[in-house]
Structure 1
Amino acid sequence: MAKQDSFIKIRGTLDGLTFYKSIDGHLIRRKGGVSRARIMNDPNFIRTRENIAEFGSTAHSGKLLRFAIGTMLHRAKDPRMSSRMLSVLSKVQKLDGVSARGQRSVKEGLLTVAGKSLLKGFDFNNRATFQSVFHSSYSLDSTTGVVTISDFVSLDHLTIPQGATHVSFRNAFLSLDFTSGEFDTKYSPAINKALDMNSSTITLTPAAVPGGTGLKLYLLLIEFFQEVNGVQYPLSNNEFNVLHLLDVV
C-alpha cells in the first residue's frame, strides 16, 4: 500500500492499481489476488474460510455493542474506534475454548475472566481516555448499576480542556446477548456541574435494571461544555468527551 503524493488526487482503478481515500489519506493498492469463488470452495482455503467466518462474527458483535449504546456513542468516539474495538473483540473471541475453529464467538470468550478483562476499561474516545481525564475515586453497584463519586471537586479531579465551563456525567447499565442480538440499555439522568472548587457527591442512577439474561456492561460518559449567555454548547465537537466501559459482568 502506497500514498499519493501528487497534488492531483485520483480515485478509481487504473492499470491494475486502485486509488482510494481513507482516514490515512489518499492511498494506492494493487488490484488482484485469488478469486472469491475459489476461496469459498477450494479445500486448500478451509483455514481462510474459518478466519473469514470468525472475522465476520466478531465484526457483528462489535456493531451490536456500538448500536446498543448509540445514544452515548455519538457524544464520545474517535475515528478509529470501530477498528480498535474489533481488535479487542478478536482477542476476546480467541479465548473461546469450547467452539470449533471457525465458530468461536465473542460471547463465549466473554464468559472467561480473561475475556472480560480485555473488554473492561475500553475507551471509545482515545483522544480523551478515562485515566487521562478523571482523577477521582468512584464506586459501582453491579446489581443496580448506580455509580457514586464522593467528595468530587471538578477543578481538582478533572483534566479540563481549555474553554470548558461545565461538565456533565451520565452512566448506562446494559444487558446484551451477543448470540440473539437482544439488548436492553438503561440510562441515568445527566448531572451537570459548573467547573469550580465546590465539593459534592455525584450519584448516577439508571432508570431501571435492564431486562434480559445477557452480559451486563456499565459505562460512564463525561461531557464538557462552554456556557455563553446562559446556554451550554458542546466543546470542540465532543473531542474532549470520555466514554468508558467501567466493568463487564
Structure 2
Amino acid sequence: MKRKKTPLNRKRVLTDPAFEMTRQNSAEFSRAGRAARLLHKTLAPGLHNTAHQYISGRLTKTMFKVLQGDLVNNRGERRVPQGMLSTLKGFNFNRDTSLQNVLKAPYSVIFDLENMQATISFPSFIPKAMIDTASGANAFRLTAMAVSLDLEKGAFPVEPVRTDIFDLALQHYENLQLHMQVIEHQPDNSVVVALGIEFFIGIQGIYDPVNKKHNPLAIAYVF
C-alpha cells in the first residue's frame, strides 16, 4: 500500500495562521516545562529520601496552570513568574504519599524579609496523634527548605534543614520550629518553602530509613 502524502509539515505548522493556537500552546507549555525542571532541580537536595519518580509530567501540568493565571501577557506570551504562583502550594513530589494525609499537625509558615529567613512553626505537636503512616516506622524527622528563585532564570543553592530524629511514641513537643535562611533573595523572585517528613525504624539507638515511598515532601507555601 502506498502511503498518502499529507499537506501537513513542520514549515506549515510554524507559519500557517491556522496553527497559531498550536504555536501558542507549544510555546507556553515549553515555558512551563522549563520552570518545572528548574524547581525540581533546585529542591533535589531535600528529595534524596523521598520517592519522586514520574514527577516531570505532574509538575509541568501544575506549572502550566500557574502560567495560565498570568493576566499581564497575552495568550502565547504568558509566563510562569506572572502567573498564579499560589497554585504550587500543596504540590506533592511523592505521587503515592501526600504530606497532607501523613502530617496532621497544624503549622504556620512565615517569611521575614528583613532577616531573609523563612520559619515553619508547630505550636503543639503530638506525633502519635498527628502522624499517620503505613511504613511500620517508630521514628521520624522533619525536613524543610526555602529557596529564592526566578522560575525562568534560575535559583540559588538550598540546603535542607532537618530536625533531630524523634520517637513516634506518645510525646508532646511545644513550639517546634524549623528556621531556613533564604540566600541571595532578589526583589522580583519568589520564595518557595517545602516541607517533608522522613520515617525510620530505630532499634537500640540505631535508625534505618524505611522505603522512601512512605516519605512525602510538598510545597508548603509560596511568597
Shorter-chain TM range is 0.7 to 0.9
Deviation (angstroms), 1:78: 4.0
| Aligned residue among 10, 19, 25 for 1:51 | 25
Matched, 1:120 2:89: yes
How far apart in 1 are the matches of 2:142 and 2:221? 17
Deviation at 1:33, TM superposition (A): 9.7
| Structure 1 Cα separation of the partners of residues 11 and 194 of structure 2 | 43
2:163 is aligned to 190
Shift of 1:147: 1.3
Aligned to 1:243: 217
Q: Work out which of the residue numbers 142, 148, 157 in structure 2 matches 1:169.
A: 142
State the percentage of identical aligned residues.
27
Q: Which of residues 68, 73, 89 is equivalent to 1:99?
A: 73
**Could you state the TM-score of these two structures normalised by the residue count of structure 1?**
0.77
Q: Is residue 2:203 matched to residue 1:234?
A: no
Q: Secondary structure at the match of 2:81?
A: helix
- How far apart in 1 are the matches of 2:101 and 2:68? 30
Question: Relative contact order, CA 8 A, sep 6+: which one is greater?
Answer: 2
Output one character per residue of 1:134-158: Cα deviation in whole Å (capped at 9) or x when no partner. Answer: 1111122221211122331211110
Task: Assess, with a 3 A threshold, how the Cα gap between structure 1 residues 80 and 67 changes in structure 2: closer, same or farther.
Answer: same
Aligned residue in 2 for 1:209: 182
The 3-state SS of whatever aligns with 2:13 is helix
Number of aligned positions between the proteins:
212
Match of 1:239, SS state, is helix
Please give the root-mean-square deviation of Cα atoms over the aligned residues, in Å.
2.2
Alignment correspondent of 2:50: 76
Asked whether 1:199 is paired with 2:172, we answer: yes
Give the residue type in structure 1 aligned to 2:119: V
1:18-167 pair list within 5 angstroms: 34-109=8-83, 115-143=84-112, 144-167=117-140
Q: Deviation of residue 192 (structure 1)?
A: 1.3
CA change 1:167–1:34 in 2 (3 A) is farther
Q: TM-score, normalised by structure 2?
A: 0.85
Change (3 A) 1:37 1:239: same
- Once the 2 structures are TM-superposed, how far is the Cα of residue 183 of structure 1 from its aligned partner? 3.0
Which one-letter code corresponds to 1:154 in the other structure?
P
User: Post-superposition shift, 1:52?
Assistant: 1.0
Letter in 2 for 1:205: H
Unpaired runs of at least 5, structure 1: 1-15, 17-31, 110-114
1:40 Cα deviation from its structure 2 partner: 2.3
* 1:120/1:245 contact within 8 Å kept: yes
3-state DSSP of counterpart to 1:122: coil
Match for residue 220 of structure 1 among 195, 203, 222: 195
